[in-house]
Chains A and B, each alone.
Chain A
Amino acid sequence: QQQVKQSPQSLIVQKGGISIINCAYENTAFDYFPWYQQFPGKGPALLIAIRPDVSEKKEGRFTISFNKSAKQFSLHIMDSQPGDSATYFCAASSTSYGKLTFGQGTILTVHP
């Protein structure tokens, strides 16, 4: 019940296109859903996060969509750029215990 399932494993998008990465969770106690971006040789960087009291959160070109009833959330990257090429991880936690459970990761490649 602790799993977070992420798809796709890899994604190739043309410059200017929209990148969409999906995650699904099982544990209804989860109430915090962050996305991390990781470049090779670096630690994961917090990109954007959402709580289940809103259905969407936007920060610049990055948007999280959240569907509480379906227990799914997704990351949309608008106007994707080659500099967005990285591995993206979704995660989930309960603020009661703070431990993050990570998805399997998506390798995004944006072609110029």
Chain B
Amino acid sequence: SAVISQKPSRDICQRGTSLTIQCQVDSQVTMMFWYRQQPGQSLTLIATANQGSEATYESGFVIDKFPISRPNLTFSTLTVSNMSPEDSSIYLCSVEIQGVEQYFGPGTRLTVT
């Protein structure tokens, strides 16, 4: 498995501002993923972030709204830009280990007012 940390663990932000979420893993991994989990809902994949290449976004998610960086094999950031109340969610990063198993971080709970 892997030990994954996220910062911040929670935040309350004002409409129109941006928040950058950090994801750190304790071992080198090729594939990292960012998910959104709206209150009481399932997980929806935002994008896949491989080191050394541009992130691949899922339908409904765009780079201008959710820019992602992957500077090395243990770290990634997700920015939620120009936030609105609809962006209030839990944002989760995950890493792929042994080619298929995914392990999740604790999540960042975002409230936009």
Confirm or deny: B42 has a beta carbon within 8 angstroms of a beta carbon on chain A. yes
Nearest chain B residue, comparing its CB with the CB of A97: B48
Once the chains bind, are B107 and A98 in contact (CB under 8 Å)? no
Between A and B, how many residue pairs show CB distances below 8 Å?
Answer: 48
A52 to chain B, nearest CB (A): 13
Which residues of the partner chain B approach A93 to less than 8 Å between Cβ atoms? 100
Which residues of the partner chain B approach A43 to less than 8 Å between Cβ atoms? 4, 92, 104-107
Interface residues of B in 71-113 (CB under 8 A from A): 92, 96, 99-107, 109
Confirm or deny: B45 has a beta carbon within 8 angstroms of a beta carbon on chain A. yes
Contact residue range for chain A? 20 to 34
Once the chains bind, are B102 and A102 in contact (CB under 8 Å)? no
What count of chain B residues pass the 8 Å CB interface test? 23
Which residues of the partner chain A approach B1 to less than 8 Å between Cβ atoms? 46
Which residues of the partner chain B approach A99 to less than 8 Å between Cβ atoms? 33, 45, 48, 58
> Assuming the A-B contacts A98-B96, A102-B42, A104-B42, are A44 and B104 also in contact, with contact meaning beta carbons closer than 8 angstroms in the complex?
yes
* Given A89-B43, A103-B42, A105-B42, 17 new contacts (CB under 8 A): A34-B101, A41-B109, A42-B106, A42-B107, A43-B105, A43-B106, A44-B43, A44-B104, A46-B1, A46-B101, A46-B103, A93-B100, A98-B48, A98-B96, A99-B33, A100-B102, A105-B41
